[in-house]
A and B are shown apart, each in its own frame.
Chain A
Amino acid sequence: MRPVDLAIVGAGPAGMAAALTAVAHGLRVVVIDEQQQAGGQILRQPPAAIRVRNWLRDRVYRRQQQLLQRAQQDSRIEWCWQTTVLGFLDRDPHDPASQRLWLHGPGGTSELAARSVLVAAGCHDLAVPFPGWNLPGVMAAGGLQAMVKSQQLVPGERFVFAGSHPLQLIVADQIRRGGGEVAAVLFAQPLGAMLGVRKRPLLMLRHLGKLLHIGGVMWRLWRAGIPVRFGSTVVAAEGERQLAAVRVARLRDGVFEPEQTREDIACDHLGVCYSFLVASELPRQAGAAVSWSAERGGWIVDVDGWQRSSVAGLYAAGETTGVAGADVAREEGELAALAVLQDQGVLDAAQAEKLAAPVRRRLSSLGEFAAVLAQISLPPWGVFEQLLTDSTTLCKCQGISVGEFGGLLQEHSTIATANSAKLRSRTGMGLCQGRYCGYFVTRLLARHNEISAAEVGPFSARSPVKPVPIADILARERELG
């Protein structure tokens, strides 16, 4: 089978922008995504069978919507929907220049050879553990939002949001507009920390559209009588096999106020919205170098000024290289495509540089804004540390508590890396493969041993990076004889 020129993992802003640029220069491009349509999470579209009038018409989405329309209308792009990339397979000795991807889709498992691969796999919610977070009804705010945006469904009756990222205001407003009741939106950080942005007036002026969008959302929540509180958060989820209420504590100088001042708020769903973690498991499995960033999503893929990873022929763009939002992702996607075109000899260095210049100009302003947003959107570690009580479940897949994990660290002083912690405790061995607990395992371990996150390292990512029914693999083996 002749390899495709470029395989792109992820049909979000980075993947769409890269695909458009690459096909415009004649490359054969396949975009693979687990969803059924393009857009990624930011533009998680309703399925074709559900028609929605005026879907995501707010001004702030306009440029992304234009990108989506262009990508969907471009018949040169090949799409591969409902398909998970399970990993990179060993290269074919007869064609060592090509990479081989292992896929799992509705038809079972298959392989795809590509001369270049761009991973633009996005990010997922940073799920901060706290007592009771394993109860049904406690969800990632992004998960609640996708129900409204894509399925056009309000997934409960009474909602509370808690965290530190402004996204929760937007989700709360979407739930409210859909007919759900929002009891409260809680920010762990004090309002002053959020208003730190005012010290950068020029930068804020350039990104006025986004600020006005948030301002509009705040105004609508206020008019609807929905309390938005700063300096308080949910410290426990309560209920019998289903969320019934959350316990809320105020923070003073980063410390939870005592038990008797806490209050319960009845709700059937809680949206947890602290920040985001990048999906870097595929590049890591391929051997790409990563760096730690507590604010930008954990283990982020190292790239050069052209989005090249440390592995030849493997590129990364968008959140995978550090959470920075959809606008940055789009520009990085374009840059990555220009690098591929250059590396495959379609463009010479001067041509690529000329095309990249305006992209880089846009990126510098967007990147600055993203950095400020990341800074104000994550509370200090001390807040998380108070939530991670001994009885709190650290790894939901394997059912391991913070206390059990801490006990193992006390008992085995040789546990220094995330991998050794995994072998001892089983954290990261379950269904999510450490996508959720990994961030906290790294930080707890670094703190316990007083070493840096870089010394702890990530869990080794192995293929398949996502669980796959063994019957689906066997069916393919039989097919190949």
Chain B
Amino acid sequence: MAHRIETGVERQPSLQIEIDGVAVRVHPGETVAAALLLAGREHCYTTRDGEPRSLFCNMGSCFECLVAVSVPGEAREPRWRRACMTPVSEGMRVRTGKCLQETL
């Protein structure tokens, strides 16, 4: 399992997001990718053939870490976002394992 480096690192008070219906505490500035690793859920989206895809480049170029994200206040349906490029925010809801062809 992933762990945070604590020595020499100061984080702000944690906030809560939801990953597949489970509440997870994360810190401001962390990405959805970091939250997924800490929660032990590496599987991001599912290909048409049913294969799991997950964080690979962690810099926004491979698009393998797509997850469905909805943010309260934005008042709209969930959107596909790159987990590695999306910072967490209070109340954010993340769904993993979905197929791109599925309706979100």
B-contacting residues of A (Cβ < 8 Å)? 34, 36, 41, 44, 46-54, 82, 84, 124-125, 127, 134, 136-140, 142-144, 146-148, 151-157, 178-179, 241-242, 279, 396-397, 399, 431-432, 435-436, 466-467, 469, 471-472
Given the complex, which residues of A lie within 8 Å of B43, measured CB to CB? 136, 241-242
CB closest chain-B residue, reference A242: B42
Given the complex, which residues of A lie within 8 Å of B59, measured CB to CB? 41, 44, 124, 142-143, 146
CA distance A143 to B83 in the complex (A): 13
Given the complex, which residues of A lie within 8 Å of B94, measured CB to CB? none
Query: Taking A136-B54, A436-B62 as contacts, is the C-beta distance between A153 and B8 under 8 angstroms?
Result: no
CB closest chain-B residue, reference A122: B59
Given the complex, which residues of A lie within 8 Å of B29, measured CB to CB? 46-50
The DSSP consensus for interface residues of chain A is loop
A-contacting residues of B (Cβ < 8 Å)? 1-5, 8-12, 27-31, 33-34, 37-38, 42-43, 47-49, 51-64, 66, 76-77, 79-80, 84-85, 87, 100
CB closest chain-B residue, reference A143: B58
Name the contact of B56 in the complex, choosing from A36, A41, A46, A127 (C-beta under 8 A). A127
Given the complex, which residues of A lie within 8 Å of B61, measured CB to CB? 124, 279, 432, 435, 466
Give the A-B contact count at a CB cut-off of 8 A: 148
Given the complex, which residues of A lie within 8 Å of B85, measured CB to CB? 34, 82
User: Which of B38, B47, B62, B76: most chain A Cβ within 10 A?
Assistant: B62
A-B contact pairs, 29 of them (CB 8 A): A34-B60, A34-B85, A47-B29, A50-B28, A51-B11, A52-B9, A84-B60, A124-B62, A127-B62, A136-B55, A137-B42, A139-B55, A142-B57, A143-B56, A147-B2, A147-B37, A147-B58, A151-B31, A152-B5, A152-B9, A153-B4, A153-B30, A153-B37, A241-B52, A397-B63, A399-B49, A432-B63, A471-B77, A471-B79
Given the complex, which residues of A lie within 8 Å of B42, measured CB to CB? 136-137, 242
The DSSP consensus for interface residues of chain B is loop
Given the complex, which residues of B lie within 8 Å of A134, measured CB to CB? 51, 53
Shortest CB distance A432–B (Å): 5
Name the contact of A155 in the complex, choosing from B8, B9, B11, B37 (C-beta under 8 A). B37
Given the complex, which residues of B lie within 8 Å of A148, measured CB to CB? 5
Given the complex, which residues of B lie within 8 Å of A44, measured CB to CB? 59
Contact call B8/A157, Cβ cutoff below 8 A: no
CB closest chain-A residue, reference B37: A155
Contact call A49/B60, Cβ cutoff below 8 A: no
Contact call A50/B11, Cβ cutoff below 8 A: yes
CA distance A397 to B46 in the complex (A): 10
CA distance A73 to B9 in the complex (A): 23
CA distance A431 to B57 in the complex (A): 13
CA distance A279 to B57 in the complex (A): 13
CA distance A286 to B67 in the complex (A): 30
Shortest CB distance A139–B (Å): 6
Given the complex, which residues of A lie within 8 Å of B57, measured CB to CB? 124-125, 127, 139-140, 142-143
CA distance A178 to B3 in the complex (A): 9
Q: Which 7 A-B pairs have the closest CB atoms?
A: A47-B29, A143-B58, A49-B29, A136-B54, A431-B63, A49-B28, A53-B8
